[in-house]
Amino acid sequence: MGQKLAEKVSEPQWLIEKRKAAKQAFEVELLPDRVSHLWKYTDPAIFNPQITTVESVSEIGMWRYSEPGVEVLHILDGIKKYEDLMREKFGSLIDNKNLKLSLLNESTWVSGYFVYIKKNKQSDDPVSLTMSMEKLKSFYPVRNFIYIEDGVDVKLVEQVCSQDEILSDVNIVTEIFLGNGAKLDFINLNMVGNKINYHLIQRANLSAQAQLENTFISLGGNVSKIDSETKLVGEHSVVMVSGIVLGNEKQRFDHHITVNHVASNTISGLDFRVALKDSANSAYTGNLKIAVNALGCDATQKNRNLLLSDNAKAESIPELEILTNDVKKCSHGVTMGHLDEEQIYYLMSRGFSDKEAEKVIIEGFIEPIILKIPEHTLISGQVKSRIEQKLNKG
């Protein structure tokens, strides 16, 4: 499939060879074993699609910006326009060893976005990116690439969405490169319908003094798996990863977040909040790694879980891998529980019904993360509407 696609769109030869190699490796690579760390809580076979119809995500034509210093293109146009850069960087953050699903993406992707933010960026407005799945029973392999030059400060809001009736498989791979002193506020919104199986591999590479604020808002999908890793390769680089999961019915979410402190004097923080209704299920793994030569690092993580029914279930696995004795701070904390009866009683004494009181408490629980979405935007309204719908259901 990859070779035919490459010939159709006249891809450069190095990319054609890359696709061929990935296709050959995919055909012999087995699905990961369930005992492997990454797949302990979710069956990888769910994301190995039986659907053979490969589709492009829609709204690619909207991914074009005219502001000075901001370039957003279809991924294929980005590869052609910046071929030297892409030959060097494209795929360099993705280790395909033992990752059958990333090999699947590399051999089949047909769409995605290319974002290049340059030093002369003049607009402070957030860049909004929408990927919409519109065809029933299709497979959507998507490849994204983000490159931020030295000293740039930018906010990106990415929304992946579909109609509720869409029954499809989504496989997304995103690479992020931040130059020296660059700052990226990246908001990832999973707004797909509840019949979609959603798989995301995200890799980020931070140079010296770069700062990444990475926010995941997971609302949609039948089974959703996010595998995110950030490497702090430059001294004094910083990553803050936060997220909310709001699950209902039989939804299942699996977030595996890794932060790798490669350089000294680097800082990381993880803050994930999970609220589950009905028979929804969540697994969160936060893995903080500090390399033997990474001195004076500061790494913390928190995971809060709010169970709103007896059938909801959450797993929390905070992990620390510290290979040096010179650590500024390294800690983790987990909470797991049901709604506070005293809070509900207090609100009911102020005129709220029990359902209204529950809703107020949940909204307060997730609000610190939701506030990261730029106000007065279409996407902000859509997210709040989706949350309202989920809270009012059942």
Give 318-336 pLDDT, tens digit per residue.
999 999 999 988 888 889 8
The band of 66, judged by pLDDT with boundaries at 50, 70 and 90, is: low
Are 294 and 376 found together in one domain? Answer: no
Q: What is the pLDDT of residue 61?
A: 43
Q: What is the pTM of this model?
A: 0.94
**182 has pLDDT over 90:** yes
Lowest-confidence segment of 79-83, 125-129, 268-272 by average pLDDT: 125-129
pLDDT surpasses 90 at 345: no
Quick one: 87 exposed, middle or buried, by C-beta within 10 A (0-12, 13-18, 19+)? middle
Count H helices and E strands in the chain, helices first: 8, 17
Section 158-177 average pLDDT: 93
Q: Is residue 296 a contact partner of residue 265, using CB atoms and an 8 Å limit?
A: yes
Taking Cα atoms as reference points, which of 257, 259, 248, 241 lies closest to residue 372?
A: 241
Q: What total number of domains does the chain contain?
A: 2
Better pLDDT: 316 or 331: 316
pLDDT of residue 122: 78
Does 365 lie in the same domain as 300? Answer: no
Q: What local confidence, expressed as pLDDT, does residue 50 receive?
A: 76
Instruction: State yes or no: pLDDT of 103 exceeds 50.
Output: yes
Q: What is the mean pLDDT of the chain?
A: 90
Q: Which residue, of 298, 324, 341, is where some domain finishes?
A: 341
Are residue 332 and residue 351 in the same domain, yes or no? Answer: no
Q: Is the pLDDT of residue 145 over 60?
A: yes
Whether 328 and 349 map to the same domain: the answer is no
Structure tokens at 374: 């730029």
Residues 298 and 383 in one domain: no
277 shares its domain with 290: yes
**In this structure, are 360 and 271 located in the same domain?**
no
Query: Does residue 315 contact residue 282 with C-beta atoms inside 8 Å?
Result: yes
End position of a domain, from candidates 316, 341, 366: 341
Q: What is the pLDDT of residues 223-272, one digit of tens each?
A: 999 999 999 999 999 999 999 999 999 999 999 999 999 999 999 999 99
Distance CA 212, CA 120 (A): 20
Angle, alpha carbons 281-286-291 (nearest 5°): 160
* Claim to verify: residue 235 and residue 353 sit in the same structural domain: no
Residue 286, burial from CB neighbour count under 10 angstroms (0-12, 13-18, 19+): buried
Domain that holds residue 392: 342-394
Mean pLDDT of the 184-189 span: 96
Residue 93 tokens, joined? 């953050």
SS3 158: strand
- Among 386, 374, 377, which residue's Cα sits nearest to residue 155? 374
Q: Are residues 238 and 316 in the same domain?
A: yes
Among the listed residues 50, 103, 26, 113, the one whose alpha carbon sits nearest the alpha carbon of residue 78: 113
205 and 162 housed in the same domain: yes
Say if CB 177 and CB 202 are below 8 A apart: no
Q: Are residues 384 and 323 in the same domain?
A: no
pLDDT at 32: 87
CA dihedral 104, 107, 108, 112 (to 10 degrees): 100
- Write the DSSP string, 298-366: EEEEEEEEEE-STT-EEEEEEEEEE--S-EEEEEEEEEEEE--HHHHHHHHHTT--HHHHHHHHHHHHH
Of the candidates 195, 190, 196, the residue with the CA atom closest to the CA atom of residue 170: 196
Across 1-7, average pLDDT:
42
Q: Range with the lowest mean pLDDT among 100-114, 117-131, 369-383?
A: 369-383
Neighbours of 349 (CB within 10 A): 9
Q: What is the pLDDT of residue 1?
A: 39
One-letter identity of residue 62: M
Q: What is the mean pLDDT of residues 99-119?
A: 93
Q: How would you class 383 by CB atoms within 10 Å of its CB: exposed for 0-12, middle for 13-18, buried for 19 or more?
A: buried
301 plus 313 within the same structural domain: yes
